[in-house]
């Protein structure tokens, strides 16, 4: 194997149907955020027996950590066409208008559904929903809960719903090692539960295991966001798309040595401004929408200001907000107070962090992948809603809308197949090297932050691919437990991101190349698809040109 050309086996290990315990279910759902739980509820309501598995608990999903809200057209001042226009503009030519319209049109229905489950969203004195505005939106249309704890509220009611449902069984603390594919159809998965292997025979599998922020040194994501779903589906042979597009949130709390914490976009929507260490407000000089410009614009502007000033961060100033920001944003106020920051008086030190993986498993509007029986939804999927950059608060909306459709289709299209044993992985003639996984993980995070982060170029991306290939080659011979498997998944997704970023020789949305700083609609307005080739290498396909959209 050439180290500069990463190759990946079709599985992380073998499966022996004669000795491995097997459980049967109609639909297996992997992931417990809004997309996975919505799919599980819909499949169970359609009569399927559902097994939902997640490697952590309900409080450790990206949904639970989400401070932003649900974008939906809920007032006469707003319209479907306006929400579509905002989404397509931020997506910079790569959002699919038909998918966008389908998802956005179901926004009000999705909010009503969450309310019917008991979600307590913020309301005005007259009882109507309080709507906020976030970056890229032209009007107030974002539903929140407790100001800055929308995801936690949604996770709460969804958790109660699956606990009550008689047709849903949950297994938390369970890691999916491999998907099982027989005769071209996904028929189940191999899990690791308490260190032991367990096979699931399923009529359909829904992958909703979230994003991959943990492959970066700076991230807003929980510790489990390792890109497991994208890596598993890639090994299984599914098409992936748009892996070069990773959204960085502009404002994460920066305290040296402390975990990063998201400072929600709703804070800037309420009037907070960004300043450098000299107190200068700089975003008004960068974009007409200033602090409410699309996230990629704000993130790169912050990075440029950090380079110019030699500082490690900039500052978010809430002192000009009407009312007491500590009451408006209690979660943020509480976290900042732990570092002796009074958000009503003190500017908050912030810097960008990896926030959302726009790319993922290529699916249609009901989660179907290119492998029969395998569905994907949420951050693990690429529906082409977000294009080259995600409009704030469209992801929870997508998770609810596509999740419910995916669950129904998985239940309808399930097909039980007896499991057969799989072949063992590749063998090696030399002993496995002794590896320090924590050191390799930190090195990967730093490499991705430097070379596959906010600003990229050919030399850095090529270096990243070569080092990732070398690490994966060594790790493939030495890892037979969950930490090693997670790191292999992260290396796989990192290689896919770097490969796609090398292929896109332009700058568009979240993807910025300093060696190709301009957008190239003539040569690059297309999606980049990837799949695992027969020899384990990454096969790349450039999709057809995306025609200019006259929507709405």
Handedness of CA 183, 500, 383, 61 (dihedral sign): positive
Residues 6+ apart with CB under 8 A from 232: 176, 178, 179, 189, 207, 209, 489
Catalytic residue among 295, 368, 404, 409: 295
Q: Estimate the share of the chain in helix, then strand, then coil, as percent rounded to the nearest 5.
A: 35, 20, 45
Q: How far apart are CA 36 and CA 54, in angstroms?
A: 10
The CA–CA distances, whole Å, from 302 to 63, 220, 454 equal 26, 16, 11
User: Quick check: is 295 catalytic?
Assistant: yes
Centre a 10 Å sphere on the Cβ of residue 23 and count the other Cβ atoms it contains. Answer: 15
Six-digit token string for 107: 């926004």
Q: Is the peptide bond before 552 cis (omega within 30 degrees of 0)?
A: yes
Six-digit token string for 379: 């951050």
* Max Cα–Cα distance, the chain, nearest Å: 73
Instruction: Please say whether the beta carbons of 276 and 258 come within 8 A.
Output: no
Q: Which of 267, 376, 374 is CA-nearest to residue 329?
A: 267
Q: How far apart are CA 142 and CA 335, in angstroms?
A: 23
Centre a 10 Å sphere on the Cβ of residue 16 and count the other Cβ atoms it contains. Answer: 11
Instruction: Please say whether the beta carbons of 191 and 398 come within 8 A.
Output: no
Query: Which neighbouring-strand residues pair with 71?
Result: 142
User: 439-467 burial, b for 16+ CB within 10 Å, e for fewer?
Assistant: ebbeebbebbbebbbbbbbeebbebbbbb
Q: How far apart are CA 3 and CA 476, in angstroms?
A: 13
Q: How far apart are CA 73 and CA 81, in angstroms?
A: 10
Residues marked active site are found at: 295
């Amino acid at each position: 194997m050439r180290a500069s050309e990463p190759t990946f086996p079709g599985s992380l290990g073998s499966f022996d149907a004669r000795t491995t315990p097997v459980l049967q279910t109609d639909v297996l759902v992997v992931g417990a955020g809004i997309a996975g739980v919505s799919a599980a509820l819909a499949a169970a309501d359609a009569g399927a027996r559902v097994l939902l598995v997640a490697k952590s608990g309900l409080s450790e999903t990206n949904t639970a950590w989400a401070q932003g809200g649900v974008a939906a057209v809920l007032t006469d001042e707003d319209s479907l066409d306006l929400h579509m226009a905002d989404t397509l503009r931020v997506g910079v030519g790569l959002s699919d208008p038909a998918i966008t319209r389908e998802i956005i049109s179901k926004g009000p229905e999705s909010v009503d559904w969450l309310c019917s489950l008991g979600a307590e969203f913020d309301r005005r004195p007259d009882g109507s929903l309080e709507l906020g505005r976030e970056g890229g939106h032209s009007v107030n249309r974002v539903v929140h809960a407790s100001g800055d704890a929308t995801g936690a509220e949604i996770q709460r009611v969804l958790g109660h719903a699956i606990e009550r449902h008689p047709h849903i069984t949950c297994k938390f603390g369970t890691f999916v090692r491999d998907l099982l594919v027989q005769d071209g159809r996904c028929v189940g998965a191999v899990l690791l539960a308490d260190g032991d292997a367990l096979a699931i025979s399923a009529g359909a599998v829904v992958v909703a295991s979230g994003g991959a922020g943990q492959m970066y040194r700076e991230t807003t994501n929980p510790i489990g966001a390792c890109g497991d779903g994208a890596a598993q589906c890639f090994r299984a042979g599914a098409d992936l798309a748009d892996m070069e597009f990773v959204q960085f949130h502009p404002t994460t709390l920066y305290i040296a040595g402390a975990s990063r914490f998201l400072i929600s976009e709703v804070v800037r929507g309420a009037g907070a401004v960004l300043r450098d260490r000299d107190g200068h407000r700089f975003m008004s000089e960068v974009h007409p929408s200033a602090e409410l410009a699309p996230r990629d614009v704000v993130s790169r502007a912050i990075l440029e200001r950090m380079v110019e000033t030699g500082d490690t961060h900039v500052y978010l100033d809430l002192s000009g907000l009407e009312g007491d920001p500590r009451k408006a944003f209690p979660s943020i106020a509480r976290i900042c107070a732990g570092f002796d920051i009074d958000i009503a008086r003190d500017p908050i030190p912030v810097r960008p962090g990896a926030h959302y993986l726009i790319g993922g498993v290529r699916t249609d509007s009901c989660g179907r992948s290119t492998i029969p029986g395998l569905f994907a939804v949420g951050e693990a999927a690429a529906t082409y809603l977000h294009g080259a950059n995600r409009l704030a608060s469209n992801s929870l909306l997508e998770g609810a809308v596509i999740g419910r459709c995916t669950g129904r289709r998985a239940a309808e299209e399930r097909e039980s197949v007896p499991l057969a044993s799989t072949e063992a992985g590749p063998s090696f003639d030399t002993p496995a090297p002794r590896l320090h996984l924590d050191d390799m993980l930190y090195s990967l995070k730093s490499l991705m932050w430097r070379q596959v982060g906010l600003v990229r170029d050919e030399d850095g991306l090529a270096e990243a691919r070569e080092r990732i290939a070398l690490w994966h080659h060594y790790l493939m011979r030495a890892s037979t437990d969950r930490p090693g498997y997670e790191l292999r998944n992260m290396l796989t997704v990192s290689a896919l991101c770097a490969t796609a970023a090398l292929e896109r020789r332009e700058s568009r949305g979240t993807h910025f190349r300093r060696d190709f700083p301009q957008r190239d609609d003539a040569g690059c307005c297309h999606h980049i698809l990837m799949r695992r080739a027969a020899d384990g290498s990454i096969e790349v396909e450039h999709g057809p040109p995306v025609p200019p959209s006259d929507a709405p």
